[in-house]
Amino acid sequence: MADQNGSSGDDLEHSISAEGLSKSFHGFQAVDGVSFQVRKGEFFGILGPNGAGKTTTIRMLTGVLKPDQGRILIDGIDLRRDALAAKQRMGVIPEVGTVYTDLSARENLELFGMYYGLSKPVRQERATQMLKDLELHDRADDLVKTFSKGMKQRISIGCAMVHDPSVLFLDEPTEGLDVQSRKLILDRVRAMNAAGCTVVITTHNIEEASRLCQRVCIINKGQVVTVDSPEHLKSTFEQTRSVEVAFEGQVSCQELSPSCMLRVEESGDKMRIFTSDPDRTIEEIMRLRDERGLRILSLSTLGPSLEDVFLKLTEAKR
């Protein structure tokens, strides 16, 4: 049976299938042979540093940009052959694209509902529901141009969800938002996902990606570095956590116990100690301080940085 199901069975199971996507701008290869598959109902992350090609990839997947090469299937529908049917199934928050600031929150929701072909009673009901879910009902009839950034982004996500899409594409949806707006938006996205909607999210926040996503695709310089579950990538992430400390006076890193550090970088009076166990490293730093009677000028723990993760991953590949 498994043999017979072959690729068509895969296509049915996959919400998104990207095959060998490439795109160049004036000779510069922004995306270079990116392939991955996203299962139905999966929460999928695309992670990469600035300029990695995340937005370009999302633009191709959502039909904004035509790939130079490659094929895209959305729920088994070829995006090039039947763009309208494929787009009908998507909800999209582009990185820079916004809703209409000259319309009110409710007018925007209804306009997007119209574009997605919802009948009048349905779109009115969905708009009201969305406004409530996004805690915007008291501002429903105000023009979006009077909204704060977080409120704008909330209405933006509402517009992407108004037709109950089967796939959501979100390009850095929480960039620059405060904790509350971020939580509200991610809660809505998680609720959609729990109801069976496939979610693709791009971010350069590793913590956020590993918290939300079932699998993450890491891309760098337009190419896929790896696609894996956050659990599997975790050790890579953790090895790149670090503690940064500055002592008053000269201290050599040799004075710290080597068991609590993977690698040390020194710059100026600061030491950056890479470790998989920041807690132990800080204990060790305190021990040194007490023993030697030193003063600590600054002490901070740093999350995993993308650059370090890429270094690690590309090292591992070699």
Ligand X SMILES: Nc1ncnc2c1ncn2[C@@H]1O[C@H](COP(=O)(O)OP(=O)(O)OP(=O)(O)O)[C@@H](O)[C@H]1O
Least distance (Å) between residue 54 CB and Mg ion: 5
Least distance (Å) between residue 172 CB and Mg ion: 6
CB-based contact 105:54 (threshold 8 Å): no
Q: Exposed, middle or buried, 138 (CB in 10 Å: 0-12/13-18/19+)?
A: exposed
Instruction: Select from 94-102, 210-218, 259-267, 293-301 the region that touches another protein (CB under 8 A).
Output: 94-102
Pick from 47, 52, 77, 251: which binds ligand X (CB under 6 A)?
Answer: 52
Least distance (Å) between residue 49 CB and ligand X: 7
Instruction: Select from 33-41, 47-55, 160-168, 236-244 the region that touches ligand X (CB under 6 A).
Output: 47-55
Report what 87 binds from Mg ion, another protein, ligand X, none; CB cut-off 5-8 Å by kind. Answer: another protein
Least distance (Å) between residue 96 CB and Mg ion: 9
| Other residues' Cβ atoms within 10 Å of the Cβ of residue 69 | 13
Which residue number, 96 or 195, has a Cβ lying nearer to another protein?
96
Binding-site size for ligand X (CB under 6 A) equals 12
Least distance (Å) between residue 309 CB and ligand X: 14
Binding-site size for another protein (CB under 8 A) equals 29
Which residue number, 64 or 253, has a Cβ lying nearer to ligand X?
64
Which residue number, 194 or 311, has a Cβ lying nearer to ligand X?
311
Report what 51 binds from ligand X, Mg ion, another protein, none; CB cut-off 5-8 Å by kind. Answer: ligand X
Long-range contacts, stretch 276-283, CB < 8 angstroms, 24+ apart: 276/235, 276/238, 276/239, 276/241, 278/241, 278/242, 278/243, 281/243, 281/256, 282/243
- Residues 3, 1: Cα–Cα separation, whole Å: 5
Q: Which of residues 199-218 bind ligand X (CB under 6 A)?
A: 204
Q: Which of residues 55-74 bind ligand X (CB under 6 A)?
A: 55-56
Q: Which of residues 17-56 bind Mg ion (CB under 5 A)?
A: 54-55
Pick from 88, 124, 128, 301: which binds another protein (CB under 8 A)?
Answer: 88
Name the token pair of 136: 């915007």
Name the token pair of 257: 């116990």
What is the side-by-side strand order in the sheet with 14-25? 28-39, 14-25, 69-74, 77-78
Q: Is 18 in the site for another protein (CB under 8 A)?
A: no
Q: Which of residues 78-107 bind ligand X (CB under 6 A)?
A: 95
Residues making contact with ligand X (CB under 6 A) = 25, 30, 48, 50-56, 95, 204
Residues making contact with another protein (CB under 8 A) = 59, 62-65, 83-85, 87-88, 90, 92, 94, 96-103, 107, 111-112, 114-117, 169
